[in-house]
Structure 1
Amino acid sequence: MLEERRVGDVGVWFVGARGSVATTAVAGCAAVAAGLHPPVGMVTETPPFAASGLPSLSSLVFGGHDTATCPLPKRAEELTAAGVLPHGLAAAVRGELTAADIDIRPGGPSAGDTRTDDELVARFASDITDFTHRHGLARTVVINVASTEPTPAPDDPRPAPSSLYAAAALRAGCPYVNFTPSTGARTPALADAFAARGLPHAGRDGKTGQTLLRSVLAPMFTQRALAVRAWSGTNLLGGGDGAALADPAAAAAKNAGKERVLTDTLGHAPEGEVHIDDVPSLGDWKTAWDHVAFDGFLGSRMVLQTIWQGCDSALAAPLVLDLARLVARAHEAGLSGPLPGLGFYFKDPDGGPAALSEQYTALLSFAARLGDAR
């Protein structure tokens, strides 16, 4: 028998609920809440956020949409075999994974789906509202962690699928987070509608690895008056992201955020591009190389090279949990519209500074604002 939920709990509704990031977030939340693992990577578990009034990890209730059908306990076993989750964790939190899986509903549109856009939005919104009411939740935050989609053409008659889910969040009266490079709520109509409804939203594209490093290094060159001539990068990755980003249009949407960090910080777009290669055997693991060519005093030419190797799901999951808690608290505090104070988490944020240190300062100010609203 599933544990009875407490009134006042907070819902986290994942778009892409059976993917690696969502599965890792659900399993990780349960593990940290039970004291099985420390909250490594969770900024909201550090002292500056203690007085912000954030919902506890034990109060988060998970559900979502997905077109995949593999149950969460099985996905967790697969992630264990891939080295993403520690051995024994999937079995230890099987009850929490099963409870979340029961609340996952079919997504769309998929091949052959004849429903109109409004029918899809209505179905998705109804699923979210039913989830919120059945569990007696104080509020539900909708978070997009699905695979990257291509940016729609200006003359495309249909909105992007991610925008349908964003519209469903709006219709259900829920705050929204876009952790992907997909369009989501980044349309004029949706942005205005979220503000009109008094709903906070945040995005876009979670900053977990290569761009995180860029947002630290680029200010160094600017502050030391070193002229960056070129900045090139390569990503090798597998799993669902690797397959999705093998599509050049999806890769272009992903790279836009990576390039924005450099342009905003350096004041110009240096030569060079980011190349993304799908290597299925890597699974959820990624290697990112950067090659930075810059000029020093008297025109001396120098080079900085970096290598980042990590697991995207394990890097993203704690950030997703942070955002769920912060945006839920922002909604409770009556904040609405875009939240530039959360730019620390995104490649393509809703305004604010581009450098990580300045974004962290803005995040601390945002946390203090949440605390003052208690």
Structure 2
Amino acid sequence: MTTWDTMWDTLGGRGAVGVWLVGARGSTGTTTIVGALALRAGLVRPTGCVTARRDFASASLPRFDELVFGGHDIARTPLAERAERLADEGVVPPGLPRLVRDGLLAAEEEVRPGATGADDDRDRPSGENGRDRKNRGTQEDREDREDQEETIRRLTGDLLSFRRRLGLERVVVIDLAPPGPAAPPHPAHLSSSTLRRALAAGERILPSGALYACAALRADCSYVDLTTPPGRRLPALAELASERGVPYVAGDGATGARAHHVRRPARERVSAEDFPGARTARRSDRWSREPAPAASLVIDLARLVALADRAGLHGPVPEPALLFDGTAPDASADRAGPPGGRYAALVAWARGLSVPV
């Protein structure tokens, strides 16, 4: 019988897509990995995954079983332990973490220490325990001894190693970390050339999210920012994505219009099956940033951005952000409007992309 470890190792090659989660051990990251493993094993349906709809069948999206996970995190609670906590909280179905435990252990081997930035006088995300806080202090002490250029090089090395060791065709980096305060304005934020000079001079000018973005783009990985409010994004990152020839997607992190399976129609409250199979009750007109619906968004984004990368798109790519509530910050006026219109525009975009055979 094939073990999860050998499956993980043999998924490489043409078609395999690495999904690198910043905040991999957080609630959303862990739920995403549990759900993807359960999908691969045929244990759950792709409930909540918009790209699983028949409308996307003709698009050249990577299959669910072609997604391989790794990530960065400052927290040290292992994925398997975090998944059990989420099951106790009702975020994922009881017993599901045990069924995919081998896969969680394999994914845990691909999680590397994260980074802090100029904005990190903030609390860590939910799920951090005393051990995580102690380790975070150790991490921050180490980073006080390395400048941001060195930190970016370390993060870049993690991504290059992940891609090389597993023989991945491409890697999509998705930042799930909680948004921090905006970094103080700096001229280096305005262009990639001034940013490179400032980093080379040892200046500490970037928030943590931008450290991950720089590392992803330098490693020629697509980058998706789900954390930063639109007004706080750095023009230098979009310019760097264009220079490196990879897609850069920025959204507001909301879960948008999800393909949930509604069990009790009602205007105020609905009983819904969330990804990956947990049942919840909530307002029918409001979908929050809870881990389950956000996890299906992450998987959708990974598939769509991998498709954009295969099609040769680079620089800011607004279309995948049509999945979010509202519109992408740089979306044209014809993409605004009700969710149905945004969904149709997303389907047309995905179907229209031409990829090499």
Band of TM-score, shorter chain: 0.7 to 0.9
**More displaced 10-residue stretch of structure 1: 362-371 or 316-325:** 362-371
Instruction: State which structure, 1 or 2, has the greater radius of gyration over its C-alpha atoms.
Output: 1
CA deviation string 1:288-332 (max 9, x = no partner): 8xxxxxxxxxxxxxxxxx874767100100110011011111111
Distance in 1 between residues matched to 2:148 and 2:345, nearest whole Å: 37
Partner of 1:154: 185
Q: Secondary structure at the match of 1:318?
A: helix
Paired-residue identity, %: 42
Q: Secondary structure at the match of 2:215?
A: helix
Specify which of 70, 73, 85 is matched with residue 78 of structure 1.
85
Q: Secondary structure at the match of 2:140?
A: coil
Partner of 2:227: 180
Alignment of 1:201-220 (within 5 A): 201-208=248-255
Aligned residues: 284
Shift of 1:158: 1.2
The AA in structure 1 aligned to 2:353 is L
Distance in 2 between residues matched to 1:181 and 1:348, nearest whole Å: 15
User: Are residues 128 and 185 of structure 1, via their aligned partners in 2, closer, same or farther at CA, if it must alter by over 3 Å?
Assistant: farther
Alignment of 1:310-329 (within 5 A): 312-329=290-307
For structure 1, the 5+ residue unaligned runs are 214-284, 289-305
Determine if contact 1:10/1:55 at 8 Å carries over to the other structure: yes
Q: Could you say what the CA RMSD is over the residues aligned between the two structures, in angstroms?
A: 2.5
Partner of 1:40: 47
Distance in 2 between residues matched to 1:338 and 1:29, nearest whole Å: 27
Shift of 1:182: 5.4
CA deviation string 1:43-93 (max 9, x = no partner): 111111111111111111100100000100000000001110101100011
User: Are residues 186 and 119 of structure 1, via their aligned partners in 2, closer, same or farther at CA, if it must alter by over 3 Å?
Assistant: same
Partner of 1:337: 315
Specify which of 160, 163, 179 is matched with residue 132 of structure 1.
163
| Greater share of residues in strand | 1
Partner of 1:252: none
TM normalised by structure 1 equals: 0.71
Distance in 2 between residues matched to 1:372 and 1:162, nearest whole Å: 30
Q: Secondary structure at the match of 1:98?
A: helix
User: Are residues 373 and 367 of structure 1, via their aligned partners in 2, closer, same or farther at CA, if it must alter by over 3 Å?
Assistant: farther
Distance in 2 between residues matched to 1:200 and 1:307, nearest whole Å: 31
Shift of 1:160: 1.1
The AA in structure 2 aligned to 1:25 is T
Partner of 1:52: 59
Shift of 1:17: 0.8
Determine if contact 2:22/2:71 at 8 Å carries over to the other structure: yes
Shift of 1:372: 6.9
Distance in 2 between residues matched to 1:101 and 1:148, nearest whole Å: 24
Specify which of 84, 88, 95 is matched with residue 95 of structure 2.
88
TM normalised by structure 2 equals: 0.74
Partner of 1:111: 140
CA deviation string 1:87-140 (max 9, x = no partner): 110001111111111100001125322121101110000000000000010011
User: Are residues 26 and 348 of structure 1, via their aligned partners in 2, closer, same or farther at CA, if it must alter by over 3 Å?
Assistant: same
Distance in 2 between residues matched to 1:53 and 1:39, nearest whole Å: 17
Partner of 1:302: none
**Which structure 1 residue ranges, 4+ long, deviate > 6 Å from structure 2?**
285-288
Specify which of 331, 334, 337 is matched with residue 351 of structure 1.
331
Alignment of 1:240-319 (within 5 A): 308=286, 312-319=290-297
User: Are residues 50 and 187 of structure 1, via their aligned partners in 2, closer, same or farther at CA, if it must alter by over 3 Å?
Assistant: same
Q: Secondary structure at the match of 1:111?
A: helix
Specify which of 213, 217, 228 is matched with residue 166 of structure 1.
213
Determine if contact 1:151/1:160 at 8 Å carries over to the other structure: yes
Distance in 2 between residues matched to 1:102 and 1:128, nearest whole Å: 13
**More displaced 10-residue stretch of structure 1: 30-39 or 337-346:** 337-346
Distance in 2 between residues matched to 1:147 and 1:38, nearest whole Å: 28
The AA in structure 2 aligned to 1:111 is E
Shift of 1:186: 2.8
- The answer to whether the aligner puts 1:366 opposite 2:349 as a matched pair is yes
